[in-house]
Amino acid sequence: MIKFIISSLSIYEKIIKNKYLARQVSFDLDNINEIKSEDTFFEAIRQVRLPNGTFKTTINNRFHDLDKEFLPLLNVEKTYSIHDIGTSDGITAVNLIDGLDIKDISYDFSISDKFSDIYLYKKGLLKYFIDAEDNILFADLGGIMFNQYLSNRFFLSKFLGKFLPQKAHNNIENKKTVLLINPRTKDCINKNKLNFFNYDLFNPSSNPGTFDIVRCMNLLNPRLFSEDLLRKGIKNIFESVKNDGLMVIGRTNPRTGENYATVYQKSDEKLKPILKVNGGNEIDALMSQVVNINE
């Protein structure tokens, strides 16, 4: 089957009202700035799969259970420097900000992602969409998607995707940048409530010991990355946290929406789990290979 790319926002919004049809189509990300509705925005970026196997999937209030247990750990008299890594469109950071504001907790909040910008360019009849490392994500030929990363259900689009080169030339002129940041997140950035920067979790932090809280949800996934890479990511997070600071690591169960997360406190180069939500995260054993964990 073919996956179709819909350029008209009004037609796309009609199609995605039906859950089955929503999975058969993608929105033309060239027009993402036209989207005003959050639900449409989530739907439009949900299906973007990156070459390292991660998706842009995120959703409003997806950490409701985690935030409910995490926020009471914080002290109203302190100002927290916070970093949310691999934040996607940033909406879950906005949710945390809402919780901090309600509790009157002060913060200096940064969000980052390696792939918040994607780029597009036209060559002949094809429109190419590429990531920050010039990997070709997919192409669009008059509304037909060419995408080797699709599931076998879209065998024709997947087959066509295999004819695309893996990489784009790195000197493409007239490449357009598309920012996959939610309108509500953009509003927070414009009001200086949030600061965004590009960051690859697997590169060492340039500012060790900077943050009181570092959160990394739905990225350190053993199904997607080698143990070596995961250890690197854990070490980088650990080093970016201040002594006495907190690390929040976990994953959302896509079926139930529950979050399996652990909050650790750093102290004297060790970590102490101080909160386990729904039994805690799945990478505890791996964490203890990188850092001393004091149960």
Ligand X SMILES: C[S@@+](CC[C@H](N)C(=O)[O-])C[C@H]1O[C@@H](n2cnc3c(N)ncnc32)[C@H](O)[C@@H]1O
Binding site for ligand X (CB under 6 A): 50, 52, 54-58, 62, 85-88, 92, 113-115, 199-202, 217-219
Look at strands 106-113 and 194-198 and give their pairing: parallel
In the bound state with ligand X, the residue whose beta carbon lies nearer, of 96 and 160, is 96
State phi, psi for 263 to the nearest 5 degrees.
-105, 125
Helix H, strand E, coil C: the string for 137-186 is EEEEECCEEECCCCCHHHHHHHHHHCCCCCECCCCCCCCEEEECCCHHHH
In the bound state with ligand X, the residue whose beta carbon lies nearer, of 2 and 286, is 286
- Rounded-to-integer distance, Cα 110 and Cα 56, Å: 18
Which helix (H) or strand (E) segment holds residue 295: the answer is none
Instruction: Give bridge partners of residue 139 from the DSSP assignment.
Output: 128, 146
Q: State the nearest-atom distance from the C-beta of 173 to ligand X, in Å.
A: 25
Q: State the nearest-atom distance from the C-beta of 89 to ligand X, in Å.
A: 8
* Three-state DSSP class for residue 256: coil
Q: State the nearest-atom distance from the C-beta of 51 to ligand X, in Å.
A: 10
Q: 256 exposed, middle or buried (CB, 10 Å; 0-12, 13-18, 19+)?
A: exposed
In the bound state with ligand X, the residue whose beta carbon lies nearer, of 52 and 81, is 52
Which helix (H) or strand (E) segment holds residue 43: the answer is helix 38-46
In the bound state with ligand X, the residue whose beta carbon lies nearer, of 7 and 57, is 57
Look at strands 211-217 and 79-85 and give their pairing: parallel
In the bound state with ligand X, the residue whose beta carbon lies nearer, of 160 and 194, is 194
State phi, psi for 110 to the nearest 5 degrees.
-115, 140
- DSSP letter string over 18-69? SHHHHTTEEE-GGGGGG---HHHHHHHHHT-B-TTS-B----TTTTHHHHHH
Q: State the nearest-atom distance from the C-beta of 55 to ligand X, in Å.
A: 5
Mark residue 269 as left, alpha or beta (left: phi above 0; alpha: psi -120 to 50; beta: remaining): left
Q: State the nearest-atom distance from the C-beta of 131 to ligand X, in Å.
A: 8
In the bound state with ligand X, the residue whose beta carbon lies nearer, of 122 and 184, is 184
Q: State the nearest-atom distance from the C-beta of 194 to ligand X, in Å.
A: 14
Q: State the nearest-atom distance from the C-beta of 213 to ligand X, in Å.
A: 14
In the bound state with ligand X, the residue whose beta carbon lies nearer, of 146 and 199, is 199
